[in-house]
Structure 1
Amino acid sequence: MTSTRLSVIDEIFLRTHRGYGVPIALQGVWRTTGTVSRDELVRIHDRLAVGKLGRRVGKPRIPGARLRWDLSPGSLPLECDTEAVENIVAWADAQADVPLDPQYGPGWRMTAARLAHGGTVVSLVCSHALADARGLIDAAAQSFSGSAVPEPISSPGSDAADALRMILTVLVRSIIATARLWVSARARAELRAFATSDSARTPPHRVRKMRSVVVDIDASQWDSAAEVAGGSANALFVSVVAATMAELGSPAVIVDIPFRTGSGDANSIGMATVNIRGDDSPAVVRAACKAAFAAPVGAPAGYPPEVVQLLPHRLAATLTSTPGRGEVLCSNIGEIPPALSTLGPHRSCGLATRAIHPAAIGPLPCATIRLSTYLSRMDGRYTLSLVSTDDALVESTEELTAAVHRALEKRNLAGTPW
């Protein structure tokens, strides 16, 4: 069951919708060879409204208490485009052009269109504050299979009790951490590194336009290439992405790798950061990732991460601009549940999972992540999705497409573009 209160990570993604960073929405894109009827799409949409996505952020009445989750079946209406879609990826990019609001609603949106060469394409997007990638996949699986029911959200309890618990937790752990600074050189080094980390990061760039590529790769070939190179499927993923960055002019990159924590929060993720070169083998990448997972990104020197939940938005955003520190994101979504391999009576012939950026209100914000990449597996194929918002890195979709194909070729792999 999802936690009744927002975590530190949940609030980071919520703040991006308030102008503190780039808003992030998770997206699943399905395509079928058969035409899915509007009635079936309506049924899926209605199930989503009463499933895991049917909630919003509620404000506590007592200062110091954490934000809570409330049931909210409201949603944006299902939209079915009448014009046939030629370019699936460009159409999917355009589905981000709507402000999503996980607090005042709605925080998710479903759209569909017919394909020019036959079939249907469906997009489901939700604010990253509402769910992580696995949460979105689980919500879609329930709605596709017809098993979606209102998720029980137990009472968050007394706001006063939560505020007292938060204040005591932050106060006690902060006192212990401060005392530790007097006797631990390592703790002092961690705090110094955290205080100066922004100066070492890639300078933020102004987000202007997404450039996206989606390719399918045969799963048996991918797994075989990983095994031959002494790595894993995930290490090969990071290796291919690093090689893509090298093709784009960045031979060495800092990579953020999210992983599941099973915390029960909307975003049950931790973040590991690793330095990778484009010519590193999957075996080298695997060893580097293993070391990074043993020391994930977190609050420095033993200070409680919950302290930012007691601070004003502006100050909290300064301390936690993103969950990670890298310029590249590699998110392995993993195996897709069988329930998502069909849309109504029609077999899905492709599923891409990724994050995109909904329309921001006011001046376009800046980002430090230059390239976001996502990998998922379904029906004997891996689908690799890449999204760049950095004009200095990628000038065109064609450039990004060429770079990823050259990176795949270096691993004796071939990708089929969407």
Structure 2
Amino acid sequence: MRAALFSHVPEPEPDPRGWREQSVVLTFDAAQWKSAAERDGGTANTLYCALTADLLRRCPLIDNIPPVLTPAVRILRESDQPDANSFTRVPIVVQREWLDSHDLTTLRAVSKAAFAAVTTVGSGVLSQPRRMPPDLLDVLPDGVVHRLLETVPITVGMCSNMGVLDDFVAPQLAEFAPALHMKRAVVQGIDVPRTERQPVALATWLSESGGTMHWALEALKPEMAHTAAELADLAKKVARSWGLHPTRIYTGDTNP
């Protein structure tokens, strides 16, 4: 264990001629987003999960099978720990017919049941090595935990709802907040060999500020999108199929 804690194997440099992860941020009118969610029997968060699943199912790696989402779920061990930051990821299998019929009612019920079934930190997929006690997992460095995780044998989509951004976030930065968070949360310069060693094809973040919803997307496998423009086009088509029309779209390495 000591060797694992203090040793570091450097990651190989990505091939500059090869594929890189692709980034896109779409913004929407928050009132339109919430109205569309209510119309189809869900909440703003349920609609977010549906859009992510609908986009993920365009990935050829999961052709003809239900897309699986792994939302981040916050776990508070004690009722008097409002500042606790423990969370896990819960697998949600989204049936394609729910997406075809815009059935947010069923998706919401299934999601709530999955969240309710999680009782300990690290009990979800992608969160805990098998037979690793949560108490031990919590004290290990992130780099060590990452080496202990086992590869999930399916391609999944990762999604995190950041909620309403704090007032201290400057308005000119708010729409980029999920993208800035995203840049800290994923491997930068990921190339094809690395994508084959991890299960996530699509990572997304959602946030709200100033009457606007910000949907940040990161394609982590080339099968999901070869270019940022391709990812943006797919996301725009999916959004429009749910009655949503992006007000702005940023692609690639656009900075505030």
TM-score, normalization: structure 2? Answer: 0.68
Q: Contact 2:24–2:249 (CA<8 Å) still a contact in 1?
A: yes
Q: Deviations over 1:46-76 (max 9, x none)?
A: xxxxxxxxxxxxxxxxxxxxxxxxxxxxxxx
Match of 1:353 in 2: 178
Question: Which amino acid in structure 1 is aligned with residue 149 of structure 2?
Answer: T
Match of 1:232 in 2: 43
Larger Rg computed on CA atoms: 1
Deviation at 1:367, TM superposition (A): 1.7
Q: Which runs of 5+ in 2 are unaligned?
A: 13-17, 251-256
Q: Contact 2:41–2:104 (CA<8 Å) still a contact in 1?
A: yes
Task: Say whether residues 1:259 and 2:88 are aligned partners.
Answer: no
Deviation at 1:395, TM superposition (A): 1.6
Q: Contact 1:309–1:316 (CA<8 Å) still a contact in 2?
A: no
Match of 2:88 in 1: 270
Equivalent-residue separation in structure 1 for 2:34 and 2:142 (angstroms):
44
Inter-CA distance 221–315: structure 2 relative to 1 (3 Å threshold) = closer
1:379 to 207, 210, 232: 210
Q: Contact 1:235–1:282 (CA<8 Å) still a contact in 2?
A: yes
Q: Contact 2:92–2:114 (CA<8 Å) still a contact in 1?
A: yes
Match of 2:249 in 1: 417
1:288 to 110, 135, 138: 110
1:407 to 226, 231, 238: 238
370-379 or 265-274: which moved more? Answer: 265-274
Deviation at 1:259, TM superposition (A): 1.9
Inter-CA distance 358–303: structure 2 relative to 1 (3 Å threshold) = closer
- Which secondary structure does the structure 1 equivalent of 2:91 belong to? strand
Equivalent-residue separation in structure 1 for 2:199 and 2:88 (angstroms):
18
Matches within 5 A, 1:197-346: 208-249=19-60, 250=62, 252-262=66-76, 267-280=85-98, 281-296=103-118, 298=123, 304-307=133-136, 317=146, 319-321=148-150, 327-342=156-171
Matches within 5 A, 1:15-414: 18=8, 208-249=19-60, 250=62, 252-262=66-76, 267-280=85-98, 281-296=103-118, 298=123, 304-307=133-136, 317=146, 319-321=148-150, 327-342=156-171, 348=173, 350-354=175-179, 355-356=182-183, 357-358=187-188, 364=194, 366-414=197-245
Equivalent-residue separation in structure 1 for 2:41 and 2:142 (angstroms):
45
Match of 1:186 in 2: none
Deviation at 1:364, TM superposition (A): 4.8
How many residues were matched structurally? 213
- Which secondary structure does the structure 2 equivalent of 1:373 belong to? strand
Deviation at 1:313, TM superposition (A): 9.7
Question: Which amino acid in structure 2 is aligned with residue 410 of structure 1?
Answer: S
Inter-CA distance 314–399: structure 2 relative to 1 (3 Å threshold) = closer
> Relative contact order (alpha carbons < 8 A, sep ≥ 6): 1 or 2 greater?
2
Equivalent-residue separation in structure 1 for 2:215 and 2:108 (angstroms):
19
Identity level (%): 24
Q: Contact 2:68–2:94 (CA<8 Å) still a contact in 1?
A: yes
- Which secondary structure does the structure 1 equivalent of 2:55 belong to? helix
Q: Contact 1:243–1:279 (CA<8 Å) still a contact in 2?
A: no
Deviation at 1:291, TM superposition (A): 1.0
Inter-CA distance 302–290: structure 2 relative to 1 (3 Å threshold) = farther
Equivalent-residue separation in structure 2 for 1:312 and 1:215 (angstroms):
33
Q: Which runs of 5+ in 1 are unaligned?
A: 1-13, 23-206
Q: Deviations over 1:299-319 (max 9, x none)?
A: 699973235579999996564
Equivalent-residue separation in structure 2 for 1:389 and 1:242 (angstroms):
15
- Which secondary structure does the structure 2 equivalent of 1:284 belong to? helix
Match of 1:147 in 2: none
Question: Which amino acid in structure 2 is aligned with residue 417 of structure 1?
Answer: I
Inter-CA distance 326–270: structure 2 relative to 1 (3 Å threshold) = farther
Inter-CA distance 233–20: structure 2 relative to 1 (3 Å threshold) = farther
